[in-house]
Amino acid sequence: MQIPHKSVLLKETIEVFQNIHEGYIVDCTVGYGGHSEAILKQNDHIKMICIDRDSQAIEFSKRRLKPFEDRVVFVQGRFAQVINRYKDFPIKGVLADIGVSSLQLDSNERGFGFNSNTLDMRMDSSQSLSAKDVINYYSLEKLENIFKEYGEIREYKKVASLIVNRREKKLFESSIEFSNFIAKHLTNRKKIHPATLVFQAIRIEVNNELEELKKLLDSIQNLHIHKCLVAIISFHSLEDKIVKQTFKRWQKSCVCDENVLKCVCGNNHSIGKVLTKKPIVPKGEEIENNPRSRSSKLRVFKIDRG
Ligand SMILES: C[S@@+](CC[C@H](N)C(=O)[O-])C[C@H]1O[C@@H](n2cnc3c(N)ncnc32)[C@H](O)[C@@H]1O
């Protein structure tokens, strides 16, 4: 079977779960099953709940993980919603490797890549909002906002107005047409394609990625599990910041306002401990073999409610 996606930080991620010998581990983003397969091999007795919003990913993983079928449940859907359905299960580990998979990026018809002939970028092909709607029909202000917030693009006003002027003459039909248009007008001193941040912003908007991540973290907290290891891999600073701040908040025992002189909250709100003061990042060798891993960061939290 040809594997279209190289799992990032594979060894480092499965090591997080190596001492779990019973119960369930949830893979919130099974993708092409790489992390799940390695966990199932390593942890003989555990079961897994494997989630993805992309039906192609679920179909692929079902085939890849066939040898372990009696230990795996597959669910297509958005991770925060799905995980809530399993709150009565003995969950001992949660993994989320967020972002896009190589198959999504490399499939012409999914519209994630710069050279694609479509303009789509939906992780779940059954949802209605696509990149075409965002680029061709969002207002100037909305475009400015997503380029500023999700792309952190300095020239966000210029990019938005270029798009609006051009689409008044002719709507954008494909990613290749759109990325060439951006490249013609934006220069980039870094070694990345000039349209990288614009594509990132549109993808985040289409898939509501930051909100999804926040909802997932809230759902994990609200599962009220006693002991559980939570490992999150992110691919850009916006996601990493959400993970870092949430883990910090989870660890905090006192939740009083900063300005109060004396603690009045009971000082007993911590749900566990951050295990990664600094995020785990890929080594040079991994980046050489899989350049897409270069921006990945793994953070781990140990929920321990005593
Ligand atoms: C980087 S890939 C995961 C790769 C996987 N760990 C592997 O080793 O093959 C990320 C996956 O997360 C899925 N995904 C992203 N956001 C999601 C969400 N809110 N709910 C469920 N799946 C999501 C994407 O569809 C994609 O397949």
Which residue type sits at 169?
A: K
51 lines ligand 1 (CB under 6 A): yes
Q: Which residue's CA is the closest to the ligand 1 atom numbered 4?
A: 31
User: What are 68-127's pLDDT values in tens digits?
Assistant: 999 999 999 999 999 999 999 999 999 999 988 888 888 899 999 999 999 999 999 999
| pTM tops 0.75, yes or no | yes
Q: Element (H or E) spanning 231, and its range?
A: strand 227-234
57 lines ligand 1 (CB under 6 A): yes
* Domains in the chain with CATH codes: 10-103+209-304 (3.40.50.150), 106-207 (1.10.150.170)
Closest C-alpha among 52, 167, 36 to residue 101: 52
Q: How many CB atoms lie within 10 A of CB 182?
A: 20
Residue 179, token pair as written in the block:
């990325």
User: What are 144-157's pLDDT values in tens digits?
Assistant: 999 999 999 999 99
User: What are 264-273's pLDDT values in tens digits?
Assistant: 999 999 999 9
